[in-house]
Amino acid sequence: MELNTIQPAIGAKHAKRRVGRGIGSGLGKTSGRGHKGQKSRAGGFHKVGFEGGQMPLQRRLPKRGFKSLATDFRAEIRLSDLDKLPVTDVDVLTLKQAGVVSVLVRDVRIIKSGQVTKAINLKGVVATKGAKEAIEAAGGSVA
């Protein structure tokens, strides 16, 4: 194969439809544009969603909801999940290696859900007030 022999795949290219070439062509006279109106004129363009000056649908409907772009980088861990880990010193890296949180996660928060039975030492991980009390009651620490 040489650069001067490369051709598009069969069926990839097709001739542009020629309009306005007489009645017999099937697309003569108005050339498929119908009669009158903005879209029949040359340069008769209007932006997407334009409704002729009427308030467009996307502006008539109420705004609703919010999706934070930071959610991929945050995670919440239950006390019961911490209790299942084989290690006592827990930081973000050990949670990632154990597969408890996603690799993308940067901020981890421990929430009070479930029980913790062993002394766990948290480093660089935030815990809620109740979770912190539960960890310290079990003999652990939150740094």
Tokens encoding 11 = 């069926």
12 assigned to some structural domain: no
Interval 91-123: pLDDT, tens: 999 999 999 999 999 999 999 999 999 999 999
Residue-range definition of the domain harbouring residue 91: 71-142
- Mention every residue, 6+ apart, whose C-beta is less than 8 A from residue 74: 105, 106, 107, 108, 109
Q: Which pLDDT value is given to residue 142?
A: 93
Task: Say whether both 77 and 41 belong to one domain.
Answer: no
Interval 4-62: pLDDT, tens: 999 999 999 999 999 999 999 999 999 999 999 888 999 988 889 999 899 999 999 99
CA neighbor of 112 nearest in space, from 86, 66, 141, 81 = 81
Task: Say whether both 123 and 81 belong to one domain.
Answer: yes
Question: Global pTM?
Answer: 0.55
Using CA atoms, how far apart are residues 12 and 99, in angstroms rounded to an integer? 47
Tokens encoding 119 = 């002394």
Q: Which pLDDT value is given to residue 138?
A: 94
Torsion sign (Cα): 130, 132, 137, 138: positive
